[in-house]
Amino acid sequence: MIALLRRDLAIATRAGGGFGLGLAFFLVVVVLVPFGVGPETSVLTRIAPGVLWIGALLACLLSLDRMFALDYEDGSLDLLATAPIPLEGVVAVKALAHWLTTGLPLTLMAPLLAVLLNLPPQGFVWLVVSLALGTPALSVIGAFGAALTVGLRRGGLLLSLLVLPLYVPTLIFGAEAARRGAEGMEAGTPLALLTGISLGCAALMPFAAAAALRVNLR
């Protein structure tokens, strides 16, 4: 399992692994928002938590279709499926690798972009905490979507259609926590619910994803 994690991390961070793409995408999306809604600081301040959450979510989505597709195409997944590691474990490790290479960097980068959107000072902590607690759910739910669409030719588009509705609860609680934090309100409840979603997804989604992978490997 550790070997698998290390390999996935190595592949993601080497040339052509697409490690920086998600971050660059996040940056571009956030930079584009003021062009869309106007430069008024008060407006930007108000929408900053939501925009940052949606940007992070979309950036997360970008790299999902590679999660299993590469291993599927080059036959690695066949051998992994017959390996002594349970497929559920493979899914969990790959989701973890995905989070380490997208969710975590996005979380760390969010405060920098928050400056561009005039997030109030008290909001930074809540933004980072909510992203840190929420992005794992995005990766695990995404792993399920990736497992469903792994054998398909136009899987990427379908993956988005399948995964985005599943992201709704995570987005609602995550953005709500960040917004309440930015407005100086109590943000504990949405954070607790967000953590619940992340934990629940991490515990259960690998089973659903592994089931889907087994079907797709037939």
Partner 1 sequence: MQQDRGALKSRGMASLWEYANPKRFMQVSAVLLPWMAGLSALCLVVGLVWGFFFTPDDFRQGSTVKIIYLHVPSALMAINAWLMMLVTSLIWLIRRHHVSALAARAAAPVGLVMTVIALATGAIWGQPMWGTWWAWDPRLTSFLILGLFYLGYIALWEAVENADTAADLTSVLCLVGSVFAVLSRYAVLFWNQGLHQGASLSLDKEENVADVFYHPLLVSIAGFVLLFVALVLLRTRTEIRQRRLQALLNRERMA
Partner 2 sequence: MLSAANLAISRGGVPVLSGLSFTLARGEALILRGPNGIGKTTLLRTLAGLQPPLAGQVAAGEDAVAYAGHADGVKPTLSVAENLAFWARVFGQDDIAPALAAFDLAGLESRAAQNLSAGQKRRLGLARMMVTGRPVWMFDEPTVSLDSASVALFAAAVRAHLAAGGAAVMATHIDLGLSEARVLELAPFRAGATAVPGGTDDRAYDGQGAGAARRGAFDGDDDAGAFL
Separation between Cα atoms, residue 165 and residue 162, nearest integer Å:
7
Asked if 85 is part of the footprint of partner 1 (rule: CB under 8 A), the reply reads no
Nearer to partner 1, 31 or 185 (CB): 185
Coil, strand or helix: which one is 87? helix
Interface with partner 2 by CB under 8 A: which residues? 2-4, 6-7, 10-11, 14-17, 71, 73-76, 78-85, 217-218
Nearer to partner 2, 87 or 143 (CB): 87
Beta-carbon contacts of 8 under 8 Å, excluding residues fewer than 6 positions away, are 93, 94, 97, 98, 101
User: Do the Cβ atoms of 63 and 143 come closer than 8 Å?
Assistant: no
Separation between Cα atoms, residue 187 and residue 170, nearest integer Å:
15
Q: In this chain, which stretch among 49-57, 61-69, 105-113, 205-213 interacts with partner 1, using CB under 8 A? A: 205-213
Coil, strand or helix: which one is 152? coil
Q: Pick from 108, 112, 115, 215 the residue near partner 1 by CB under 8 A.
A: 215
Nearest CA to 67 out of 21, 41, 105, 98 is that of 98
Nearer to partner 2, 30 or 77 (CB): 77
Q: Which of residues 164-193 bind partner 1 (CB under 8 A)?
A: 164-166, 168-169, 172-173, 176, 180, 190, 193
CB of 86 to partner 2, least distance (A): 12
73 binds, among partner 2, partner 1, none (CB under 5 to 8 A by kind): partner 2
Nearest CA to 19 out of 100, 134, 130, 135 is that of 100
Asked if 148 is part of the footprint of partner 1 (rule: CB under 8 A), the reply reads yes
85 binds, among partner 1, partner 2, none (CB under 5 to 8 A by kind): partner 2
Burial 59-91 (b: 16+ CB within 10 A, else e): bbbbbbbbbbbebbeeeebeebbeeeeebbbbb
Separation between Cα atoms, residue 202 and residue 60, nearest integer Å:
16
Q: Pick from 5, 29, 47, 162 the residue near partner 1 by CB under 8 A.
A: 162
**Within its chain, how far is the Cα of 140 from the centroid?**
8
Nearer to partner 2, 65 or 71 (CB): 71
User: Residues interacting with partner 1, by CB under 8 A?
Assistant: 144, 148-149, 151-152, 154-155, 158, 161-162, 164-166, 168-169, 172-173, 176, 180, 190, 193, 197, 205, 208, 211-212, 215-216, 218
